[in-house]
Amino acid sequence: MTRPPLVDRHLAPSARPIVATALIVGMIMSAGIVLFIGGEMLTDPGGWTGAGLVVAWLVLPVVVAVVALLRPAWGLVILSGCVGLLVLASAATWFAPDQIAAFEDSHGPVLLIAGVAVWLPLIALGRARPLSAGGLLLAATLLPIVLQVGVLVVQGAGMIIVSLMIVSTPFVLLGMLLVGAGLVDTRARRRLDVGSVDI
Condensed to tens digits (0 to 9), the pLDDT of residues 128-158 reads 999 999 999 999 999 888 887 766 666 665 5
- Condensed to tens digits (0 to 9), the pLDDT of residues 32-79 reads 888 887 777 777 666 777 777 778 778 888 999 999 999 999 999 999
Higher-confidence position of 165 and 133: 133
What percent of the chain has a predicted confidence (pLDDT) above 70?
A: 82
Domain boundary assignment for the chain: 16-189
Over residues 102-121, mean pLDDT: 79
Supply the DSSP string of 45-79, one letter for each residue.
Answer: IIHHHHHHHHHHHHHHHHHHHHHHHH-HHHHHHHH
Q: Is the CB of residue 83 less than 8 Å from the CB of residue 136?
A: yes
- For residue 197, what pLDDT is reported? 42
Is a pLDDT exceeding 80 seen at residue 21? Answer: yes
Q: How far apart are CA 153 and CA 54, in angstroms?
A: 30
Q: Which residues of 47-85 are buried (b: 16+ CB within 10 A; e: fewer)?
A: eeebeebbeebeeebeebbebbbeebeebbebbeebbee
Q: Which residue has the higher pLDDT, 164 or 81?
A: 81
For 8, 13, 15, 168, 175, the CA distances from 189, given in Å and listed in that order, are 14, 10, 10, 31, 21
The structure's pTM equals 0.85
